[in-house]
Structures are given as structure tokens and as C-alpha cells.
Amino acid sequence: MAEILNLLPSTLYLMSNILIDLATSFGIIALHGLLLTALLLSQTQARWKIARHLLGIHLIVSLALLLISFSQPNAQLNTLFSFTPLSMVMMTLISFIGLVVLRFAQQNLLGDPDHARFLKWYLLTLIAVSITVTANHLVLLFVAWMSISLSLHNLLLFYPQRPRAALAAHKKFLFARLSEALLLSAFIILYWQHDSLHINVLMAQYTDNYTPSLADQLAMVMLALVALIKCAQLPLHGWLIQVVEAPTPVSALLHAGIINLGGFLLLLFSPLLSVSVAAQWLILIVAGISCVLAALIMMTRISIKVRLAWSTVTQMGLMLIECALGLYEIALLHLIAHSCYKAHAFLSSGNAVNNYLGQQFTQSAKPNKHHWLAALSCVLVIGISLVVVLSLLTPQTGWSSLSAPALISPWLLISIAVVSLLAYHFSNPNKHSTSKALITAVIGVSIYSLLSLITHQIVPSHINTQVSADIWISVLFLSLFITFLWLQYATNSPASRHLLIALNAGFYLDEWVTRTTLRLWPLALPSTSAKTIK
């Protein structure tokens, strides 16, 4: 009897874990079931109302599962679906963005005879994305990943009579097939290497002491290429710029959700990425150059939506850089913030036009050298103060943890951003501008530090200790800042005029890619006299 009583606590604990696992598994299946139910009822008269209510329930259930996942971060069995904080954060984000875009689309497409067709493909896309971020099986992940592209293709061609929309969808279709071939090849290699199709089992193999084989390196390089293609990095970026021909809700869904899946893929396979130097350098070179060039090209654009599209290329490049540097918690924070920002930016792009025109009449003067020096001094003071506060908040580790070797490039980028913000505020004659800038800088850096600590509990960093990688990214950030200042203050010089012309043309990269793709796979563009483009 005594032995039975002694075994009772452990038995109850085991049973509670089993019940929680069953509840979470049922919860994830229920989430997919809600979206499937909305799809099945999307042909009824009350289609929009039903979809809105079901997505609202979907968001509530996602939030509940997210809270449970934090209490059981390792509760992942060898099942089809994953139940980790990362997957639940992504699911909650999808629910939120999906609901917001759906409410906007209902009004935006009011009176459009094809609104039922839009809702059908929209819900199919959400189902595919939700399965992708919760998949714990290579076959399921591949099928869901491919389904996203096929569903999105129909949304991009919502107005099939528009030639630019057809051309963008055509290029996106070809790039997607290429990325899927790479993804399938990587999965076959991983299965061949480790004899398992479950992602959690595969990733458990890649510990800090693991020496990757050539096959491991090749698989991760393929996954890195998939992420670069998905995130529309140069030179395969043109389709993302041209899909603004699609309805605004499609652009919002694409920029706020789907394009971020490249970063999610790297976070999902982060243990393998952390031991694959070849994949890290591939991302650092391609995404680093894309980030700098896209940021400079964005300066020459006038259209609000086109500027937002180039901004997405820049932000995706920066997020991939963070993954390659091992700053996974910052990459996840970046992914969440970018999704929310881009959803708001695209859905309010009409107001953005009015705001932009208003700024042209109230634009402040360019900062002079005194403004830049004052901004630099403030950043130094804020940085030193932050270090002191963090050392006081972590007395058990003290200065030892803060003085440990760390990457310079992330702090350099933050410093450049804050210096620029302060300098332009200091140049504003408004007497409240200086205090507003200082408060904004302090609050922004503080919130960033706090949120980074939270996301660290979901995907902790595995910092890339290669000094050369840190130097490379630091040089890129400094080059971007110096080029920006040069274009601002030496606009009339012959060299800057030539550079602006090249930037305005996007260095003709998309033209070259377009000609190449149409040569490989010709397309008959929709027109009154349709003819094949070669």
C-alpha cells in the first residue's frame, strides 16, 4: 500500500501530461478544422460573417494554446503536428493577421462579383499556412508549403486581365516550383541521413558538438536557397514589386504573412543552420547585398505601395541576416513586428498617400553636422545607461555577461537608426521635437530589449562566432548609411546622379530576370491582341 501511495504523485503527473498532450493535439486539429469549416461554408449567403466569426474563435483558441505551450516548451511528440512556443506564436500571428485582412477585404471587395472566389482562395491559403507552421512531419510540411504557393497564385491572378499581374504571377509560379524542388531535395537528404521524417527528431541530432556531414551542409544550403527565394531576395524580387496589381487585401496577406515564411523555415531548422557555415555565408552574402540595395532603391520610389514592397525586400533581407548570425530571438521579434506593421501599412495605404503629400509641405530641413554630433552623443549616453541598468537588473551575472564577446553589427544598426531619428528631429524647428525624439529613442530601445528577452524563451540565440561574418555585416550597414548621407548631401554631384539613375532602374536586375524566365517559359499576356512574349 505504501509503495502504491509513493507511486501516486508520479502516476498523476504522467496522466496529467498525457491529458495535456491530448488536449493540445485536439486543439491544433480543431484550429485547422475551424478554417476548413469556414471554407466549406464560404459558398453560403452569410459567407463573410461565418468566416469572420470562425476566425475570431480561431484566434482565441490560438492564444490559449500559446499560453499552454509556454508552460510545456518541450511537449512535442513524434506526431504530425508540432506543439512548441514557436509554432503557436506563428499560429496566433496568422489568426490575427488573417482576421484583420478578412475584415478589410469584406469592405474592400464589396460589390465585386467575384468576392466569393476571393474568399475561397483566401481561406485555402490560410489553411495551408496554418498547417505549414504546425507541421512536424517533412511530407506534411512539403505538401502544405506547395499548397500555399498554388492558392496564392489564384489570389495574385484575381484580376487576370491585368498584364502586369499575369507577368508577376508567372514569375512567382516559376520561382515557387524551383524552391519546392530544392525543398524536396533537402528533405530527401535529411531523411536519408537520419532515417526519420519527424522534424523534432531530426533537429535533436544537431547539437553544439555535432560535426555536420557534407550531406547535412548540402541540405541546409538548399533550405537557405528556399528561404532566399521565398523572401524575394535580389535578383528574384521583381514579382513582389509587381503584385501590387492584385487587390490590397492580397498584398497585405502576402507582405504581412506569407513572405515571412522564409524566416520561419530558418527558425524551424535553426539547429542545422547553426552548424552549417556554408549556408550561413550564403545567406549573409545574398541577403546582405539585397538588404542594402533594396533600401537604397526604395529611396527613389514615389508610389506608396511600391515603396512598401521594396521595404519588404529590405526587411526580409535583414531578418535572414539575423538568422544567419544566430540571433534567432531577434529574427522572431522582427518577423512579428514586420507582419503587424506591413498589414497596417498596406491596409491604410490610401491614407498613407495623403500623409505623404502632407509631409512634402511640412518637410523639415536636413540636419547639419551639429545635429548629427548631438544625436551621436545622445546615443552614446543612452547606450551606456542601458548597460548600467542591465547590470543592475542582473546582479547574479553582473558585468561579466555584458562584457562577454558579442556581435557588433546588430548594435551598429540600432545605433545608426537612433542617430538618424534624433538628427532629423533635432533639425525640426518645433520646440517639442527634441524632447519627443529623446523619449521615443529611450522607449524604443527599452521595449526592444524587453521583447528580445521574451522571444529568447521561444528561440534562444546561437550566436555566429565568426568575426568575419560580423565584420561583413557591419561594413554593409556602414556602407548603407554613408551612401544614404552622400545621396542626401551631394545630390548634384555627377557620381550621385549616375547612382540615382541606376537605383531608379533597380540596376536592371528584374529586367534581366524577366527576359530569362520568359525565354525559358514564354507567357501569353492577356490583351485584346494576345501574343506570346518571348
Three cell numbers, residue 51: 468566416
Amino acid at 430: N
Q: Return the closest-CA partner of residue 274 out of 199, 188, 196, 210.
A: 210
Q: How far is CA 234 from CA 179, 344, 503, 512, in A?
A: 15, 25, 13, 12
- CATH fold of 22-136 reads Four Helix Bundle (Hemerythrin (Met), subunit A) (1.20.120)
Three cell numbers, residue 125: 491559403
Q: How far is CA 57 from CA 18, 34, 86, 129, 479, in A?
A: 25, 8, 20, 17, 47
Looking at residue 279, its pLDDT comes to 97
Q: How far is CA 384 from CA 58, 394, 402, 461, in A?
A: 44, 16, 12, 23
Q: What is the pLDDT along the chain (534 residues), one digit of tens a residue?
A: 555 545 555 554 445 555 555 566 677 888 888 888 888 877 777 888 999 999 999 999 999 888 888 876 555 556 788 888 999 999 999 999 999 999 999 888 877 788 888 999 999 999 999 999 999 999 999 999 999 999 999 999 888 888 888 888 999 999 999 999 999 999 999 999 999 999 999 999 998 788 899 999 999 999 999 999 999 999 999 899 888 778 889 988 998 889 999 999 999 999 999 999 999 999 999 999 999 999 999 988 887 888 889 999 999 999 999 999 999 999 999 999 999 989 888 887 665 544 554 454 444 567 888 888 888 888 888 777 766 776 666 554 444 444 334 788 888 888 888 888 888 877 776 656 667 766 776 777 677 777 777 787 788 888 877 889 999 999 999 999 999 989 888 888 888 889 988 998 889 999 999 999 989 888 887 764 444 444
Cα four-point dihedral sign 435, 440, 446, 450: positive
- Burial (CB < 10 A; 0-12, 13-18, 19+), residue 20, is middle
Looking at residue 4, its pLDDT comes to 53
Residue entry with cell 538618424: 420
- What is the reported pTM? 0.89
User: Rounded to whole angstroms, how far apart are CA atoms 245 and 139?
Assistant: 33
Looking at residue 365, its pLDDT comes to 67
Looking at residue 439, its pLDDT comes to 76
User: Rounded to whole angstroms, how far apart are CA atoms 343 and 65?
Assistant: 24
Looking at residue 362, its pLDDT comes to 43
- Burial (CB < 10 A; 0-12, 13-18, 19+), residue 45, is exposed
67 Cβ contact partners less than 8 Å away, ≥ 6 residues apart: none
The percent helix, strand, coil of the chain (3-state, each to 5) is 75, 0, 20
Three cell numbers, residue 351: 491614407
Crossing angle (nearest 10°) for helices 248-256 and 328-347: 170
User: Rounded to whole angstroms, how far apart are CA atoms 30 and 24?
Assistant: 9
Q: What is the largest CA-CA distance in the chain?
A: 93
Residue 300 DSSP code: T
Kindly list the domain boundaries of the chain, sorted by start residue: 22-136, 362-458
Residue entry with cell 558585468: 399
Residue 135 DSSP code: B
Q: Produce one character per residue of 117-142: b if its CB has 16 or more CB atoms within 10 Å, e if not.
A: ebbbbbbbbbbbbbbbbbbbbbebbb
Pairing of strands 523-524, 532-533: antiparallel
Q: How far is CA 26 from CA 61, 85, 123, 137, 499, in A?
A: 11, 17, 21, 17, 57
User: Rounded to whole angstroms, how far apart are CA atoms 402 and 86?
Assistant: 27
CA 471 to chain centre: 24
Question: Are 52 and 102 contacting, i.e. CB atoms less than 8 angstroms apart?
Answer: yes
Looking at residue 491, its pLDDT comes to 81
CB atoms within 10 A of CB 247: 21
User: Rounded to whole angstroms, how far apart are CA atoms 64 and 69?
Assistant: 9
Helix or strand holding residue 52 (H, E): helix 47-71
Q: Is the peptide bond before 235 cis (omega within 30 degrees of 0)?
A: yes
Looking at residue 369, its pLDDT comes to 82
Looking at residue 113, its pLDDT comes to 82
